Amino acid sequence: MAPPQTLVQERLGGACSNAITAQAWSADGELLAMATAGGELLLIDFRAGCEELLRGERDSSLNVVGFSADDRFLMAAGQGGELLLWELGGSGVRPIAFDPLPLGGHWLDAAAWQPQGCLLAVGAGKQVRLWDGASRTLRVESQELEGTVLALAWSRDGRRLAASCHGAVLLWSPDDPGQPPQRCATASAGLALGWSGQGNLLASGQLDGSLMLWPDGGAGRGWQFSGFPGKARALSWCDQPGRLAPLLAVASADIAVIWSQQDPGAKGWKPEPLVLHEGRVHAVAFAPGSRLLATASSDGTVALWDGRGRLQQLLEGDGQPFNSLSWRPDGRHLVAGGAQGQWWLWPVALPASVRTRPPRSGGFAP
Amino acid sequence: MASPRDRLPVTVLTGYLGSGKTTLLNRILTHEHGMKVAVIVNEFGDVGIDNQLVIEADEEIFEMNNGCICCTVRGDLIRIIGNLMKRRDRFDHLVIETTGLADPAPVIQTFFVDEDLRDQLKLDAVVTLVDLKHVEQHWDSEEVQEQLAFADVLLLNKIDLVDVEACLAIQQRTRALNPLARVIPTCQADAAMDQILGVEAFSLERALAIDPEFLTSDHDHEHDGAIGAVAFIEERPMSYKKLGLWIDRLVTERGPDLFRMKGIIQFAGETNRYVLQSVHMLVDSAMDRPWRDGETPSTQFVIIGRDLDEAALRAGFEACVA
């Protein structure tokens, strides 16, 4: 048996003054943005080799950050209840801030850019508001939910938007206002939402320790999987096709669970619990382009797993709990943020067990 | 999970409309107590808005497990406090103001039911403000009764607006309803800060403080559906097994009607005290310190709830003597 391969041999890092709450990479992988509980917003420009504090420390938290699909805009929001936007000119060009958009005084912690589009969905209280990057304005019309919006997710094609609250997940097509929203009832509050690429499944991690899954873009009858040891607080779909559905990772209490669909029935989903961490797992993320899974825990470690749940490597920071994780779109660099403001960036070599064949060019599909 | 010492103390502030909650909040925020206090309010109103640690939250009730009252929590608090706890180094104490018409139970239960809040915070006390001048008018409202019943600290406010007899009469009525709470008459909610913050009323180690008068005086049996309290004192040691089964059955059958229970228990063959407290069906109990020299081991047990049949409860309790 070959000796285990070391995936990570070096690391970069830095520190903000407060707990890191969210991190995001630009689509081209050249920019990395980090938000903190002390309101800082740090933008790192790798090509230009510089960093800029777009927003300094203040007594108001930022909780969500993201780049538009075309990398033209950067968004952040949090406790202040304002949507913050910057126009980006690419590497080496200073971002230009828009005037902050007040959204009713709610603590904003759910926002998502449309894939393959320029809409930004933001949860503000019970409403989902849309900021349109084409017109650079906030749309007047909004979608009202029956409770506070807790999570938002776009389908991979950017056509459907899902929003969760206590008791329901609502699905609609923002670009087709004539179509009424579809309501999927749930027994508790949805904390994390995610759409798969293959199969167009919608997953919702629930406050009551269950996972809801709806096939066919939410049109099919949902499955509920219960028995998680705590809240199903975070989830991530693998972007590599599975035999049926792709792999789905869900974080709950001290574990992550990889779900794989073995056959089409309700009993066809098999869980593989990943037992290692000694504290809450706060974030899970499959690396783009492979089946490598990263899990970040309050025990101060980040673990790398293959798609069958075998531990590949355990990464350590300086002992402080990890809050967030974000893969660079190349799937070869992982950034994690800590509860005291430290962040780490690890270049990751993909192990053979998670590598997948590059997409074929030409020829026939199997 | 943080040790109890490291968990952030939380004070829940209740009181009917106009009872002086905002006055008290402003006192807490401006008082030189050396603590940084974060406050969650239901409406900014007149609260010192300059203070950045004042956060507005819209009351949002999450019913879990098919609407069981004991699993009803405040979803907005789970979300807001979850966000706030990432800024844990910025404050030492959290105060939650409830609306005048709120049932305090979901707020309290949130801190026992939610896994994140349970691990990071600890309930310090439920502080209820009573408007001495107007409470008679609202006495029969469900909200007022529940706010009184759940209180650990009762501030009988606006003492300057009523005469001594009226104040004593209300004090007695509140006692009959809640013999566990510490009663403090105030004017302009001017209670000492250490009687409001850092009370540790939910700490099991804290001795039970039943007003001795409650144990000796007769209580009028009020109408059906009334909220009231019963207290038992037993010198004979109790049976661990029997009392455990009785309490299990009691909270299973009557959970929604049982607001608060507290007890210090002497078990047969045990040299240590056993302490217990509950909110609806959520029971927290543990073996405590040994009985001290000069202390007569005995059991004290108080139940605050709705429709309590004192005779039946007493019979059930006494059947648990070892």
pLDDT in tens, B308-320: 999 999 999 999 9
Q: What is the pLDDT of residue A39?
A: 96
- Chain A residue with CA closest to B65: the answer is A187
Q: Which of B56, B58, B115 sits opposite A231 (nearest CB)?
A: B115
Among A37, A189, A323, the residue with its CB nearest the CB of B87 is: A37
User: Between chains, do B115 and A150 touch, taking CB under 8 Å as contact?
Assistant: no
Q: Which position has the higher pLDDT, B71 or A65?
A: A65
What pLDDT, on a 0 to 100 scale, did the predictor assign at position B191? Answer: 92
What was the pLDDT predicted at B5? Answer: 73
- Chain B CB contacts of A230 under 8 Å are 115
Q: Closest to B75 (Cβ–Cβ): which among A59, A125, A148?
A: A148
Nearest by CB to A189, from B52, B75, B87: name it.
Answer: B75
Cβ-based interface (< 8 Å): residues of B facing A = 52-53, 55-56, 58, 60, 62, 64-65, 75-76, 78-80, 83-84, 86-87, 90, 115-116
Q: Do A105 and B116 touch (CB under 8 A)?
A: no
CB-CB neighbors (< 8 A) of A109 in chain B? 79, 83
Contacts of A16 in chain B (CB under 8 A): none
Residue from the list A19, A188, A230 with its beta carbon closest to the beta carbon of B115: A230
Mutation target vs A (from B58, B87, B116; most A CBs, 10 A cutoff): B87
Average confidence (pLDDT) over B183-199 = 93
CB burial readout A93-111, b (16+ within 10 A) else e: eebeeeeebebeebbbbbb
A11-144 under CATH 2.60.120.310, yes or no:
no
Residue from B138, B159, B178, B105 nearest B17 by CA: B138
Q: What is the pLDDT of residue B166?
A: 92
Residue A124's pLDDT is what? 97
ipTM entry: 0.91
B64 with A208: Cβ contact below 8 A: yes
The closest CB to that of B62, out of A166, A231, A253, belongs to A166
Say what the pLDDT of residue B174 is. 92
pLDDT of B95 higher than 90: yes
Higher pLDDT, B220 or B236: B236
Rounded Cα–Cα distance for residues B134 and A272 (Å): 61
Q: Which CATH number fits domain A228-349: 2.40.30.10, 3.40.50.720, 2.130.10.10, 3.30.420.480?
A: 2.130.10.10
Q: What is the pLDDT of residue B17?
A: 87
CA-based nearest residue in chain B for residue A189: B62
Q: pLDDT tens digits, residue range B153-165?
A: 999 999 999 999 9
| Cβ separation B86–A19 shorter than 8 A | yes
Looking at residue A267, its pLDDT comes to 84
Domains in chain B and their CATH numbers?
A: 4-195 (3.40.50.300), 212-318 (3.30.1220.10)
- Please tell me the predicted confidence (pLDDT) of residue A363: 36
Q: Tell me what pLDDT residue A165 has.
A: 97
pLDDT of residue A143: 96
Q: CB–CB of B145/B130 below 8 Å?
A: no
Confidence at residue A189, expressed as pLDDT on a 0 to 100 scale: 96
When pLDDT is cut at 50, 70 and 90, the band that residue B269 belongs to is very high
Contact A59 B90 (CB under 8 A): yes
Q: What is the pLDDT of residue B232?
A: 92
CA distance A108 to chain B (A): 10
Return the higher-pLDDT residue of A352 and B215.
A352
List chain A pLDDT tens, one digit each, 366 residues. 444 456 666 778 899 999 999 999 999 999 999 999 999 999 999 988 899 999 999 989 999 999 999 999 999 999 999 999 999 998 889 999 999 999 988 999 999 999 999 999 999 999 999 999 999 999 999 999 999 999 999 999 999 999 999 999 999 999 888 889 999 999 999 999 999 988 789 999 999 999 999 998 888 788 999 999 999 999 999 999 988 999 999 999 999 999 999 998 778 999 999 999 999 999 999 999 999 999 999 999 999 999 999 999 999 999 999 999 999 999 999 999 999 999 999 999 887 777 665 443 333 433
Residues B83, A105: C-beta atoms closer than 8 Å: no
CA dihedral B196, B199, B202, B205 (to 10 degrees): -170
CATH 2.130.10.10 in chain A is located at 11-144, 228-349
3-class SS letters over chain A: CCCCCCCCCCCEEEECCCCEEEEEECCCCCEEEEEECCCCEEEEECCCCEEEEEECCCCCCEEEEEECCCCCEEEEEECCCEEEEEECCCCCCCCEECCCEECCCCCCCCEEECCCCCEEEEEECCEEEEEECCCCEECCCCEECCCCCCEEEECCCCCCEEEEEEEEEEEECCCCCCCCCEEEEEEEEEEEEEECCHHHCEEEEECCCEEEEECHHHCCCCEEEECCCCCEEEEEECCCCCCCCCCEEEEECCEEEEEEECCCCHHHEEEEEEECCCCCEEEEEECCCCCCEEEEECCCEEEEECCCCCEEEEEECCCCCEEEEEECCCCCEEEEEECCCEEEEEECCCCCCCCCCCCCCCCCCC
